[in-house]
Structure 1
Amino acid sequence: MKQSAYSIKYLVILWITGCLVLTACNARVGDQNMEIENKSEHWKQQLSEKLPLLGHRNWILVVDKAFPEQNSVGMEYIYANEDLVPVLKQVLAQVNQSGHVKPIIYQDKELNFITEKQARGIVQFRTNVKEVLGKQKVQTLFHDSVFKKLDVEGKLFKVLVIKTDEVIPYTSVFLQLDCAYWNSDKERELRTILNTHK
């Protein structure tokens, strides 16, 4: 009888201990998931706050992890603790929904010439980015040309750099912002009218 009571007590203690351990583990996993989610939401929140301040001739760069931090006064950095493709998708969605700006999209020309043997995952990356960009027109420039362009533009206009965890080379995507409610045809027409009223 005593042996049976002892066994039951022992099983109850084991059961309670097991429940406490499982609860602690689940809480730890939950905390980690919340921390990841908070980091993800943090950069999105930063972008949401900055986007209304950006306009025609500003830039948003969604860059790989090796993209250098630069000394240029006009460069501002946000770190997104995510892969490049989902970050790009979110950035484009926010830009396209903004109502005041639209993107002129640039990619590195080198990206299309890198082989899977040189950089594992490059083929899938190109496919994924194509899906995100859809039918939007994309211009390509050699990487050094992009830096020269940014160097000139950054002296006058703010460049927002969103740095990702991407570790495939030449994967950065550069968005030059243009006015969404005005275009070059309307601007030419306006200038023609203004010239006749000199």
Structure 2
Amino acid sequence: MGLLVCVIWLAACTSKTDTNKNEQTADWKTEFRKKLPLLGHRNWILVVDKAFPLQQSAGMEYIYAPEGMEAVLREVILGIKASDHIKPIIYRDRELEFVKRLVGAKADQLIQSTQAILKGTAVNTMLHDSVFKQLDREAGLFKVLVIKTNETVPYSSTFIKLDCGYWDAAKEAAMRKEMTGH
């Protein structure tokens, strides 16, 4: 009888853990989908590794996504590309290429899979500390949505600056030129 109770209890705990994980996964996606239409030109979305620090800036907002970098980045990029009001400008840490040599296959696999997700979009690199300086300046004026993943490859974060999806630099320049003539 005692063994049967243990088996039933263990099954219930395992089932509850799976249910909680599924709920957490659904929760971050729901929260992200609610926030995406509110974000626009000059806002940021960061998909970051597990060690990314919780920052004090008022403009920083955090969501925890209990998944790996690839799944979360794919969801975010698909959401941005499906939106007509924004387009992504992608930044990654310059250090990631050098970490690959020290971490090995796990980092190499992550780099390859995230490059496939970002295919067709220019990827800029910058030193990790430069990213923090830029975010510190921008978070004072514009919302920065940070989605923290379970990823443990260092310097694997992707920083996405949002640009206007229906207006570009050429149109802006033409308008400004016309304005000076009037």
TM-score strictly above 0.5: yes
Identity %: 45
- Paired residue for 1:134? 119
CA distance in 1 between partners of 2:136 and 2:2 (Å):
61
More divergent stretch after superposition (144-153 vs 115-124): 115-124
Q: Secondary structure at the match of 1:103?
A: strand
1:102 maps to which of 82, 87, 90: 87
- Paired residue for 1:9? none
1:104, distance to aligned residue in structure 2 (A): 0.2
CA distance in 1 between partners of 2:89 and 2:115 (Å):
15
Cα pair distance change 1:111/1:25, threshold 3 Å: same
Q: Secondary structure at the match of 2:91?
A: strand
- Paired residue for 1:176? 161
Alpha carbons 1:110, 1:142 under 8 Å: kept = yes
Structure 2 unaligned regions, length at least 5? none
- Paired residue for 1:56? 41
1:135, distance to aligned residue in structure 2 (A): 1.7
| Larger-Rg structure | 1
Asked if 1:166 corresponds to 2:140, the answer is no
1:152, distance to aligned residue in structure 2 (A): 0.9
Q: Secondary structure at the match of 1:193?
A: helix
Q: Normalising by the residue count of structure 2, what TM-score does the alignment of the two structures yield?
A: 0.92
Q: Secondary structure at the match of 2:95?
A: helix
- Paired residue for 2:67? 82
CA distance in 2 between partners of 1:50 and 1:161 (Å):
12
Alpha carbons 1:119, 1:168 under 8 Å: kept = no
Q: Secondary structure at the match of 2:159?
A: strand
Asked if 1:71 corresponds to 2:56, the answer is yes
Structure 1 unaligned regions, length at least 5? 1-15
CA distance in 1 between partners of 2:48 and 2:181 (Å):
46
Q: Secondary structure at the match of 2:125?
A: strand
Q: Secondary structure at the match of 1:134?
A: coil
CA distance in 1 between partners of 2:13 and 2:55 (Å):
37
Asked if 1:155 corresponds to 2:140, the answer is yes
Alpha carbons 2:44, 2:162 under 8 Å: kept = yes
